[in-house]
A = this chain, B = another copy of it.
Amino acid sequence: MKNEIKIFSPATVANVACGFDVLGFCLDSIGDEMVIRKTDKKGIHITKIEGFDLPFEAELNVAGVSALAMYEAAKPDCGFEIEIYKNIKPGSGIGSSAASAVGSVFGMNELLGKPYNQTELTQFAIKGEALASKCEHADNLAPALFGGFTLVKSISPLEILEIPSPKNLYATIIHPQIEIKTSESRAILPKEIPLQDAITQWSNFGSLIHSLHTSDYELLQRSLHDVIVEPHRSKLIPHYKEAKKAALQHGALGAGISGSGPSIFTLSKGLENANKVQDALEKVYSKTGIAFEIHVTKINTEGIKIL
């Protein structure tokens, strides 16, 4: 059995339009790298962090907290060192903390001979994610671990459904580099919503799930709407409407807020369309003076992987 493993832990999009709070998907070319190493010395030790300034104390680090949760359950006769090469900017809305949280437990599980299944790994990772987001949720963890589209049906008990991905689906993601406070993005949501809007939302969500099963891109396009959350949260993202409009005009099937923002995701059929959408989004934000990062990526159906 190996003593060291290098892994790629992908970025993810949660709150996919009408699937707010339950549907997520996994990205392919954006993610963190991590090295996990078995050691004689007991405990969890974070020995290297590159890319962003994050705490080395395991109890204060997302990857450390999930690692500790698994370590306490597995009680192995060894310890683990964790190196984190962070590429996903914290606070960008594409699952930065989730990538850290799943990376450590996925790697440790491999080195221990896979005692835990993916749902159990998600359980451990939830503990790490909770350190970052102050609540237990798996919207980004599930797609990072399982790949493709995932529906988190419930948290307690944890139930994750793997939804099929159409083969030719690409995401274009833009991260306008502004800060949105989690507290603000939560406070802006209404506690009560009109029943008619809720019906529209679940009609679209059921249709979206059907479209993913049938690879029906046109239906996917007609279903990727969010009448509940987007009208409120999009106000926190400057130039959101303009960006979304440009993306749709240049061939995107749909667009929405990634996680709680500020990143904006778009989905397109085929790489060519996804690239056109990239150009359109670049054009919008280039004029604003807001710095941004932009990515085009295939939907990653594999999820986290060994490098």
Q: Taking beta carbons and an 8 Å cutoff, which residues of A are in contact with B?
A: 18-23, 151-154, 159, 161, 163, 189-195, 198-199, 201-210, 213, 219, 222-223, 228
Most chain B CB within a 10 A radius of its CB, from A159, A203, A219: A203
Most chain B CB within a 10 A radius of its CB, from A151, A161, A190, A201: A161
Q: Do A194 and B195 touch (CB < 8 A)?
A: no
Kindly report which residue of chain B lies nearest to residue A192, judged by CB atoms: B192
Kindly report which residue of chain B lies nearest to residue A157, judged by CB atoms: B222
Complex Cα distance, B213 from A278, in Å, reads 34
Complex Cα distance, B222 from A161, in Å, reads 12
State how many angstroms separate the Cβ of A301 from the closest Cβ of chain B: 16
Known contacts A189-B195, A193-B192; A19/B206 CB under 8 A: yes
Known contacts A202-B205, A206-B206; A195/B22 CB under 8 A: no
Q: Do B195 and A228 touch (CB < 8 A)?
A: yes
Chain B residues with CB below 8 A from A21, complex form: 199, 203
Q: Do A203 and B18 touch (CB < 8 A)?
A: no
State how many angstroms separate the Cβ of A163 from the closest Cβ of chain B: 6
Q: Do B153 and A202 touch (CB < 8 A)?
A: no
State how many angstroms separate the Cβ of A193 from the closest Cβ of chain B: 5
Complex Cα distance, B223 from A304, in Å, reads 28
Most chain B CB within a 10 A radius of its CB, from A18, A193, A223: A193
Chain B residues with CB below 8 A from A193, complex form: 192-195, 198
Complex Cα distance, B163 from A203, in Å, reads 13
State how many angstroms separate the Cβ of A228 from the closest Cβ of chain B: 7
Kindly report which residue of chain B lies nearest to residue A159, judged by CB atoms: B222
Chain B residues with CB below 8 A from A228, complex form: 195, 198
Chain B residues with CB below 8 A from A151, complex form: 203, 206-207, 210
6 nearest CB pairs, A to B: A198-B198, A202-B202, A192-B192, A209-B209, A202-B205, A22-B203
Kindly report which residue of chain B lies nearest to residue A213, judged by CB atoms: B213
